[in-house]
Amino acid sequence: MVNKSPSHHSLLTFKQVACHRDDRVLFSGLNYTINSGDIVQITGANGIGKTTLLRAIIGLLQDYEGDICWRGQSLDGRVIDKDIDKSANGNTANESTDNESNANENTDKNANKGTGNHRYDFTSELLFIGHLAGVKQSLTPRENLQFLANLHGTTAYSLDQVDDALAQVGLYGYEDMPGHQLSAGQNRRIALARLYLNQATIWVLDEPYTALDTQAIKKLEALFVRHAEQGGCVVFTSHQAPAIQTLRILSLSDYVGDHKGNLDE
Amino acid sequence: MSSSQAESQVNASRSSATSLYSTLFSVFRRELRIAFRQQSDMINPILFFLMVVTMMPLGISPQASVLSELAPGLLWVIALLACLLSLDGLFRSDYEDGTLEQCILSTQPLYFIVLAKVMVHWLTTGLPLTLVAPLLGVLLSLPTDGFVPLWLSLMLGTATLSFVGAIGAALTVSLRKGGLLLSLIIMPLYVPVLIFGASTVRYAVEGVAYGSTLAVLGGFFALAFVLAPLAIAGALRMSVEE
C-alpha cells in the first residue's frame, strides 16, 4: 500500500481546523499539509491539544471545526473544491466563516461522492499507536503483537513474522513472558513492534518515545526515515527533539489565541 | 478477461471472509486466554452464587417445603445478580489499556469483535453458573422436575443477560464510577428475562407445560444475539469517541 515512488504528493491536509474542549478553544485556524515522505512532529505545551489533534485525524474525535482531508477528500465525507484549497493555503483566518458556509454547500452538492467509504480507506492506510498502547498485561508479547497486527491488516501475519518484529525491537527471548513481568519500556516496545508489521501509509503515534532508552529511540527514528523514504508519512507528538534531518515541526502554539474571536477570556 | 475478473472478485470476497472469521476467532482466543489467566474474575460470580444460595436456608428456613417453593425464583434472581456483578469489567480493561481504540480503528467490523467478546463473557460467567445451578438446586430442595428446565432456562437466559448487559457496560465504560448507572440501565431490561426464566422452572415444578416460556426465552436470546452487538458497537464508539 505504501507508494514506492516518492512523488511528494499531499496526503493529509488541514483546513482551518479548530478544536475545543468543553468551551475552551484549544487551537484554531490550523492550515497545514502533510506530504508523502514527511515526518511531522507536533509540539506544544501540555494540554495544548496535541492528542486532541491526533484523535481528530484518526476519527476518534469528530467534534472539530474545519476540514481534515486525506488524499484531497474530506474525512467527513465532504469534497473540497479549488476555492477553499486556495484560501486555505494562504493563512486567511478571517474568511473562515465564508469557507465554512462554502464547505456546507459542497456537502449538499457532492453528498453522493464523499461517502463513509473514504473514512474506511483512510483507516485501512492508518496505523495508530496511542498513549495507551493496547497491550494486555496478562498476555505475552507474542500474543499481544499477533492480535494487534492481525486486528488491523487484511493479511494474517505468521508467528515467524511476529517473532521477527519482536526481535527487531529487542524483545528476543521475551516472547513468552507475560506482560506484567516486563518493564514499562518493554511493554511499549511490543506496541512499537507493530511498525515492523504493517502496510499502512500514515503512522500516527502519540508520544512514541515514552519509556524508551536512547538506543531504541535511535532505531525508531531510523525506522521513521525509512518509512518516509518509501513514500509514507509519520505524524507524532513528542517533547523531545528527535535527530531526524528531514523533520518538520508543527508547533501548535502558533495556532493558539484569538484567531477568530471565538471566546473573550 | 471477464472470467479472471470474476475470479479475482471471488478471491477478494473469500479473503475478506477468511479475515472476518480469523478476526472473530483471534478475539475469541485472546479473550479466553485472558479470562483463564485472570481466574479470580471468573470465579467471583460463581462464588457469589454459591455463597448466597448456601445462606438462604440459614436465613429463611431449612424446611424443605418452604425452600422448594421459593427455589425457582431464588435461583434465578441470584443468578441474575451474579451476572450483573461480572458486567462492569467487561469492557473496562480494554478501555483503560487502549485495546478498544484499536478495535474501533480496525478495518474489521466492530460487530464481530464485540460478538466474540460477549460470547466469551458468557462462556466464562453464564455457562459456569448454569452448570452449577442444578447442584445448588439440591441445596434449596428444588423438586426433581425442575432440574432440566432450570438448566435449559438458565442456559438461554444467562446468554441473553450477557448480551443485554454488555450494552449497559458499553454505555458506561467511559464513566469512572459507572457501576450504579449500569445497574439502573440494565435492571429494567433484565426483568422480562427473569419473569420468563423463573416461570419456566415454576411451571415445570407445578407440572404445567413449560415449552412456551422456554420458547420466549429462546426468542429473547435470538434477538439479543443478532441485535445487541449492533447496540454495543454503537455504544462503544460513542464512549471512545467522546
Please give the full DSSP string across A14-36, using - where no structure is assigned.
EEEEEEEETTEEEEEEEEEEEET
- The pLDDT score that the predictor gives to residue B108 is 85
What's the CA gap between B165 and B169, in Å, rounded? 6
DSSP conformation class of A180 = G
Name the residue facing A147 among B30, B93, B242 (closest C-beta). B30
Whether residues A139 and B106 touch (CB distance < 8 A) is answered with no
Q: Which range among A58-67, B30-39, B171-180 has the greatest average pLDDT?
A: B30-39
Residue B13: pLDDT over 80: no
Give me the pLDDT at residue B230, please: 96
* Distance set, CA A187 to CA A170, A215, A228, B19, B238 (Å): 11, 16, 25, 27, 28
**3-class secondary structure, A67:** strand
User: Which of A1, A125, A136, A137 to probe by mutation at the B interface, max B CB count within 10 Å?
Assistant: A136
pLDDT digits (tens, 9 = 90+) for A27-74: 888 999 999 999 999 998 888 889 899 999 998 888 888 888 888 888
Instruction: Work out the average pLDDT over B146-175.
Output: 95
- Alpha-carbon distance B36 to A42, whole Å? 41
Q: Is the pLDDT of residue A101 over 70?
A: no
Check whether A237 has a pLDDT greater than 80.
yes
List, by residue range, all CATH 3.40.50.300 domains of chain A: 128-248
Chain A environment of B101 (Cβ under 8 Å):
60, 128, 130, 132, 134
Q: Say yes or no to pLDDT of A81 above 50.
A: no
B105 with A58: Cβ contact below 8 A: yes
pLDDT higher for A99 or B151?
B151
What would the pLDDT profile of B86-95 be if each residue is shown by its tens digit?
A: 898 899 989 9
User: CB A226: neighbour CB atoms within 10 A?
Assistant: 11
Residue A139 to chain B, least CA–CA distance (Å): 7
Q: What one-character-per-residue DSSP string does B52-81 give? A: HHHHHHHHS---HHHHHHHHHHHHHHHHHH
Q: Tell me, what's the pLDDT at A3?
A: 43
CB neighbours (10 Å) of residue B16? Answer: 12
Average confidence score pLDDT of chain B: 89
Whether A257 has a pLDDT exceeding 80, the answer reads no
Predicted local confidence at residue A77, as pLDDT: 55
Q: Is the pLDDT of residue B115 over 70?
A: yes
Of B16, B106, B241, the CB nearest to A151: B106
pLDDT given for residue B38 in this prediction: 86
**pLDDT for A172-212, tens place per residue?**
889 888 888 888 888 889 989 989 987 889 999 999 988 88
Nearest to B102 among A61, A124, A148 (CB): A148
Report the pLDDT value the prediction gives residue A98, as an integer from 0 to 100.
Answer: 43
Residues B98-119: what's their mean pLDDT? 91
Instruction: Read off the C-alpha cell for A249.
Output: 515541526
Rounded to an integer, the average pLDDT of B108-119 is 93
Q: Residue B107 is nearest to which of A120, A134, A143, comparing CB atoms?
A: A120
Q: Over pLDDT 90: what percentage of chain A?
A: 19
Predicted complex: ipTM over 0.90: no
Mean pLDDT of A140-149: 89
Superfamily of domain covering A128-248: P-loop containing nucleotide triphosphate hydrolases (3.40.50.300)
pLDDT of residue A243: 84
Is the pLDDT at B20 greater than 80? The verdict is: no
pLDDT value, residue B100: 92
The residue-averaged pLDDT of B223-240 equals: 95
The shortest C-alpha distance from A145 to chain B (Å) reads 11
